[in-house]
Structure 1
Amino acid sequence: MASQFLKYAVLLQKYRTPLLVVSCGGVFAANMLYHVFPDKSYRPLYQAWYKGEPVTLSEKLEGVFQQVLKDYGISSTKNFSSFASFGFHPVGAGVPWLPAGAQIGIPANFNSTPDDLSGITNRSIFINGETVDWSSDTGSALKGALVFSPEAQKFAMAREVARLQAGGPVLNAAVAPFCLGGVWVYSVLLKQVFGLHAGPLLVRGAVNVLALSLGAVSYLLTSDAVNQWIDYSSDRRAASLSHDYAKGGVEFYDKILCRNKIVRTLMGQKGEEMYASSGNLFPAHLHKLKHTSYTSRREGILTLLNKDKV
């Protein structure tokens, strides 16, 4: 067994560079697969269905989406396509400059207006196993938090367009292979500093474990930092399109914060564990950084609005 282990160790040492390149490339490809074929992987996952049939995006929302692409300066709208998704705000995946393009899902509640709430009230929302009563005070407040003005709808769509157009999925996918390469760098540097290249196998193994731990920590921190940078950058690009887009961005995050506060109340103890009293999300895991807070994203857009007034 020991000789077999040594044999593998020698092979790894001999071919470590090509193995590292292949490993990093494989991790990057695995992370990008979801975005290279969004019509096959992403769209079926988020597609809205009704009575066993996929919901078709309304002409109204398709028109709004095309206007957003025009406002953003997208020359070829063939790179972006939209579909009706479930949920309460737009989601997107894909890379616009690849053949399959990018897919952006737009939820049914974007069809709703203060005078016509059919896009909301004809849906059943279950919280803690119970259906939300739309006629109750809490239900009425939740309905209000789910209705967005045309400006807020445009901002929400533009935010996804900005994220995908700027290559957000590529940046996210690059984090893991970058940190995997960092594990090799950590291992080499530690052995070089402590003169362990010719040291005992057990000690070198311990150094490799330490390097792997450092790589894991680097991945967690870098992944969260990149996600937050992408979020802020996408907001800034969308809000910079016009004064109306910026105002819509403030409303959009106001409504999300309001919705989360209401859901927090409805969920009870579970809601308090998931949402802060401000409406921001708590991290899903202790080792994760905080989610990009909605309050800070709202404040960032308000800062842009104030600069415009000066």
Structure 2
Amino acid sequence: MSHIRSKVAVRNNWTTSNSGRQVSFYLASFATCGTLLGNVLPHIGGVPYYVDFVRLYNKGFAVPVPDKLNQRFQRVLDLLKIDKDNKMRFIPFMACGFDMFSAGTLGRFGIHIGLPVNFTYDNVENIDKSKIKLNEQSVIWESDAGKRLLNALIVPENGQLYAIAKEIKMRDSYKLFFDTFYATASVFLTYAGSVTLNQRLNLYSKPRSLRILGYCLIAFVNTANYVMLKDLTQHIYEEKIDKELKELSPIFAEGGKQFYTQILERNKALRVLMGKEGEAKYTVLGNENFLIRTKHLPLVQRKAYFEEQESSSETSLLS
């Protein structure tokens, strides 16, 4: 028994020794660099692999972007007044699922915009219902929720133009670098704060459990700050981009209302069709349900912002 205790004591002494602290420093440096590269690499050198992972395939082959979607994509670039030399840096592709996707940055690797398959739907009749599954189960299309989902998958052209423009503006911004800074700083400050706490309170001479408690508290504070700053930045950019697009063109102003109307209707239908999982994922109004965080502005709020133009114009006509 005394032999076991002596081993534990040696191990405790090593973790507080100079060599133990040096190893901790190297591990913290590795974690900080890993966090930095993990946030940036998928959008620079790793973007081709990232895009291939979410790309839509059919029988093992990548599904090409239809001509009509390519034309709409180019129209968005024209409406956004993208320089002719930079247009080739924006690359559309067909993505899995029914949500927009984007990756990359303006540079040699370009910005890749994933277009959902439902952007190819013109009407309910040309939807291949057999390919749409919910939790690997077929959808009861004859139900009210099934019919609502079908109608919600049809996004009008202006709504598609807005959705593409929104992703381009978000990706062509500094948000990626803010998010990377927040994550990297959070990891670094957790280590730096732990070292400072140990030195200020002389925790190296105290029980290990006390040091672990201090580390957990510092990690919790830094994680909370990271989440708060990341979500706040997301909200700021979403408001900023919606404002810019609404003022830039009436096409985007109308498209924003159309897009969020369809997304909200889709979420309401999914809430019913997915049962308890749908109730946990979406609210009655169609907003996304978040347990603690609010990762995005409420969809109802974003839709209402684009509807303000109509209400104000009607008021001015009446006056």
Following the alignment from structure 1 to structure 2, what is the Cα–Cα distance between the partners of residues 298 and 44? 32
Give the secondary structure class of the aligned counterpart of 1:240: helix
Which residue in the other structure is 1:48 paired with?
Answer: 56
Partner of residue 74 from structure 2, selected from 59, 66, 73: 66
Q: Does 1:255 align with 2:265?
A: no
Question: What's the offset of the Cα at 1:252?
Answer: 0.6
- Cα distance between partner residues in 1 of 2:212 and 2:128: 60
Task: Give, in whole Å, the separation in 2 of the partners of 1:161 and 1:36.
Answer: 16
- Counterparts in 2 of 1:7-86, with a 5 A limit? 7-9=14-16, 10-11=18-19, 13=21, 23-37=31-45, 39-75=47-83, 76-86=86-96
Q: Secondary structure at the match of 1:222?
A: helix
User: What secondary structure, in the 3-state scheme, does the structure 2 residue paired with 1:280 have?
Assistant: coil
Structure 1 partner of 2:3: none
Q: 1:307 to 1:163 in 2, by over 3 A?
A: farther
Query: TM-score normalised to the size of structure 1?
Result: 0.83
Distance in 1 of aligned mates of 2:213 and 2:129: 59
Aligned twin of 2:104: 94
1:1-310 matched pairs, under 5 angstroms: 1=7, 2-3=9-10, 5-9=12-16, 10-11=18-19, 13=21, 23-37=31-45, 39-75=47-83, 76-97=86-107, 99-114=108-123, 117-118=125-126, 120-121=127-128, 124-127=131-134, 129-134=136-141, 137-184=144-191, 186-187=193-194, 190=197, 195-197=200-202, 200-202=205-207, 203-204=210-211, 206-283=213-290, 286-289=291-294, 291-303=296-308
CA shift for structure 1 position 65: 0.6
Name structure 2 gaps, 5 residues minimum: 1-6
Distance 1:38 1:227, change over 3 A: farther
CA drift of 1:295 comes to 1.1
Q: C-alpha root-mean-square deviation of aligned residues, in Å?
A: 3.1
Find the structure with the greater CA-based Rg: 2
The SS at the match of 1:276 is: coil
Q: Give how far 1:122 is off.
A: 5.3
Distance 1:73 1:277 in 2: 38
Q: Note if contact 2:281-2:289 (Cα within 8 Å) is conserved in structure 1.
A: yes
Q: Is the contact between residue 234 and residue 295 of structure 2 (CA under 8 Å) also seen in structure 1?
A: no
Distance in structure 2 (CA, Å) of the matches to 1:208 and 1:270: 35
- Separation of aligned partners in 2, 1:251 and 1:189: 53
Give yes or no for contact 1:160–1:234 (8 Å, CA) kept in 2. no
Long gaps (5+) in structure 1: none
Residue identity matched to 2:65:
L
1:54-110 deviations in Å (ceiling 9; x for gaps): 21101111111111122212221122101112222321111122x211111112221
Q: Distance in 1 between matches of 2:295 and 2:91?
A: 31
